[in-house]
Amino acid sequence: MILAAGRGERLKPLTNSIPKCLVKVGNETLLERHFQMLVRAGVTKVVINLGWLGEKIVDFVGTGEKFGLQVIYSLEDDEILETGGGIVKALPVFGDQPFWVINGDIYTDYIMPDLDLDSNSLGHLILIANPSYRSKGDFNLKDNKVIKDNILPYTFSGMALYDPKLFKNEVVRKFSIVPILFECIKNKRLSGSFFKGEWHDVGTPDRLARLNKLQG
């Protein structure tokens, strides 16, 4: 699943006219890069949640066939459900199998692994070193488990593998996934791994401009 419903407030004025996942780095949209990563990993079916300017995503992607994918749209329109609600609404598509969720506004050269959740884990987060613009991270890792402590050297990359059972008590409503992840950490049921490769949060015009300059 690619999360693409948000308004991209921090990227204004660019996102006044295009959704953030269609922002370009070089000659390529962020969404195209995600598709390439998914195809390389053998993924065939992708859900994209739609909210702000979602019709432009549909116009660009269509059925997904031209990208080698089957794309299913989860419509949120003006009732944007945030990360938790957006995932819960799309759950029927995934059945009982774990599924990847990727933020639509990141740029990365991550190679998606063939990853299985261990029997005690309900999710697996991909973490990165804290970027320069963050003085404090989100999480730490201990024995491949995600923890919260006083150090917090890692930031959540916006890429994760989730078991549908993680959301079994939830209904479709507007909510963030963060409290669910914190509860999962408390119960020692959230695994994680550290990614050392290229990763950028294309969240502001300045960051986008710097990234485009880096890519030459």
Q: What is the pTM of this model?
A: 0.95
pLDDT in tens, 148-188: 999 999 999 999 999 999 999 899 999 999 999 999 999 99
What residue has token string 């990853």? Answer: 115
Mean pLDDT of 69-74: 98
Domains of the chain listed by start with CATH number: 2-215 (3.90.550.10)
- Cα distance between residue 50 and residue 186, in whole Å: 32
pLDDT in tens, 81-135: 999 999 999 999 999 999 999 999 999 999 999 899 999 999 999 999 999 888 8
- Cα distance between residue 39 and residue 56, in whole Å: 22
Tokens representing residue 172 in the block: 């479709």
pLDDT in tens, 11-57: 898 889 999 999 999 999 999 999 999 999 999 999 999 999 999 99
